[in-house]
Amino acid sequence: AQKITQTQPGMFVQEKEAVTLDCTYDTSDQSYGLFWYKQPSSGEMIFLIYQGSYDEQNATEGRYSLNFQKARKSANLVISASQLGDSAMYFCAMREIDSSYKLIFGSGTRLLVRP
């Protein structure tokens, strides 16, 4: 069964520094997608970045990049130049292409950016 593991319940980072949020996954499928979502205290789920299992290059979206290491089954999110507005809950999620495309989420990492 597919599973997402986020081992960091909470993290601190100084404003303007970079931070890496860890995510490992487990799947027997060859074709899958990995996602990161941001959930501020207001509750909405904001899509950040997507990485397909066959994508050869790591995905990047502005200050967000995904460090995809397929052999290690890890998909860490790197946020560069942290801003106070980055303080939120971050969820890693996976979708197996052979399924209905539903997302399986990890338990999340709460990031707090210090001024």
As measured in angstroms, the least distance from the Cβ of 54 to another protein is 12
Q: Give SS3 for 19.
A: strand
Q: Distance between CA 65 and CA 29 in Å, rounded?
A: 24
Using DSSP's 3-state secondary structure scheme, residue 96 falls into strand
Question: Closest distance between another protein and the C-beta of residue 44, in Å?
Answer: 5
Q: Which of 77, 104, 111, 113 binds another protein (CB under 8 A)?
A: 104
Compute the distance between CA of residue 92 and CA of residue 48 in angstroms, rounded to an integer: 10
d(CA 93, CA 89): 13
**By the rule CB under 8 A, 100 interacts with another protein:** yes
Out of 35, 79, 86, 113, the residue judged to bind another protein by CB under 8 A:
35
Is 46 an interacting residue with respect to another protein (CB under 8 A)?
yes
- Any contact of residue 72 with another protein (CB under 8 A)? no
64 near another protein, rule: CB under 8 A: no
Q: Which stretch binds another protein (CB under 8 A): 16-24, 41-49, 64-72, 80-88?
A: 41-49
Separation of alpha carbons 49 and 8, rounded Å: 19
